[in-house]
């Protein structure tokens, strides 16, 4: 188990050195059998893969991405650095991000990039710590620690691949949708300047085998992403991520050498609700801590999203409404705020 000094003080009281973790009893048959999309086939314009992508976005809102072109050595290096980074003492991590642009925070529902620290009822916080990294501002980040500099260099390279991937996926989705209200180039809908990476660590909790989570032991509470799409990379043996499908929560495991792609709120609106934003959550794992790397991308603020289901709005309008709802009622409402 990681040294307690590496965790934020607000999370330490929930992390115990008690009994050894039990063996995982979840069988593979209980996992969500996500569709697998081959990016190379999409790039080659294969009709069957275009159809499969369309069905995945309609029926699941989440899929695995194979043949994505990200070097496996880069992914391995990234996850090794993430593990080393989170094992640093809490004070070192906090001090390393003073002055930005990288922000280190913990314990809040990660729905906006503006809040840091623990807010609300301390017994109902989400149990994670996170580095929020605006990709286009990484050149401004000049960390003193060699480990953080290595992390920055790897993220710059990883970010280039993510930009390529979301561009390919968005263009394939729009081609299949034949959306008439796409009035700007792809780069405006999945804008590089909006992209950011969030690197998460969720602590292990020996008492997390609580079906109702009545004590507030969520890694991340149920939510949809506000993005156009999100690209997730996490350990293949971790099943803490759960997807809501047909009124059931299904554990999601990674498959080696693939990425996991979520459809977000913006794409649900852009598609006129043909595609759905995936509702998901993260449970605290009884056996081990969880680490993941997630990329989120959004439209430019001047892009107006118009369709038959919602009043016209920009992502800036959406973001402001979400932040106001979190401030006033304590949680995100999202797209229903803009429904006609």
Ordered structural domains, the chain, with CATH: 4-15+26-300 (2.60.120.330)
**Any idea what DSSP says for residue 139?**
G
pLDDT of residue 204: 79
Q: What confidence tens digit (pLDDT) does each residue in 211-253 have?
A: 444 445 678 888 999 999 999 998 656 678 899 999 999 998 8
Partnered with residue 65 across adjacent β-strands are 37, 259
pLDDT of residue 135: 94
Does residue 206 contact residue 19 with C-beta atoms inside 8 Å? yes
0.85 exceeded by pTM: yes
Kind of pairing between the strands at 313-314 and 304-305:
antiparallel
Tell me the CB-side half-sphere exposure of residue 3, using CA atoms within 13 A.
10
Q: At CA 288, angle to CA 113 and CA 83, rounded to 5?
A: 55
Residues in the chain with pLDDT values less than 70? 1-2, 13-30, 108-124, 180-181, 206-217, 235-238
Calpha distance 284→208 (Å, rounded):
6
pLDDT of residue 24: 37
pLDDT of residue 208: 52
Give the alpha-carbon dihedral of 262, 266, 269, 271, to 10 degrees: -60
Q: Which residue do the tokens 């593990």 mark?
A: 83
């Amino acid at each position: 188990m990681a040294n307690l000094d590496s965790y934020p003080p607000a999370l330490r009281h929930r992390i115990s050195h008690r009994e050894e973790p039990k063996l995982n009893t979840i069988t593979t048959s209980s996992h969500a059998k996500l569709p697998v999309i081959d990016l190379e086939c999409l790039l080659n314009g294969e009709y069957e893969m275009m159809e499969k992508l369309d069905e995945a976005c309609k029926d699941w809102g989440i899929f695995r991405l194979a043949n994505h072109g990200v070097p496996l050595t880069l992914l391995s290096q990234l996850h090794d650095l993430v593990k080393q980074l989170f094992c640093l003492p809490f004070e070192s991590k906090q001090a390393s991000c003073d002055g930005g642009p990288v922000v280190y925070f913990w314990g809040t529902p990660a729905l906006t990039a503006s809040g840091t620290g623990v807010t609300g009822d301390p017994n109902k916080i989400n149990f994670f710590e996170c580095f929020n990294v605006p990709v286009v501002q990484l050149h401004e980040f000049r960390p003193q620690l060699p480990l953080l500099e290595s992390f920055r260099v790897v993220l710059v390279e990883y970010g280039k691949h993510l930009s390529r991937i979301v561009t390919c996926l968005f263009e394939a989705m729009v081609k299949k949708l034949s959306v008439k209200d796409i009035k700007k180039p792809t780069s405006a809908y999945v804008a590089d300047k909006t992209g950011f990476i969030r690197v998460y660590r969720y602590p292990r909790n020996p008492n997390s085998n609580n079906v109702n989570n009545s004590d507030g032991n969520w890694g991340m509470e149920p939510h949809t992403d506000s993005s156009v799409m999100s690209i997730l990379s996490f350990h293949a043996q971790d099943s803490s991520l759960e997807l809501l499908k047909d009124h059931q929560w299904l554990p999601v495991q990674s498959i080696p050498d693939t990425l996991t792609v979520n459809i977000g709120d913006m794409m649900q609106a852009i598609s006129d609700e043909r595609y759905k934003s995936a509702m998901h959550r993260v449970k605290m794992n009884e056996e081990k801590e969880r680490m993941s790397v997630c990329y989120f991308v959004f439209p430019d603020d001047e892009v107006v999203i118009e369709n038959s289901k919602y009043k016209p709005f920009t992502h800036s309008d959406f973001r402001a409404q979400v932040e106001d709802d979190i401030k006033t009622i304590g949680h995100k409402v999202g797209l229903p705020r803009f429904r006609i």
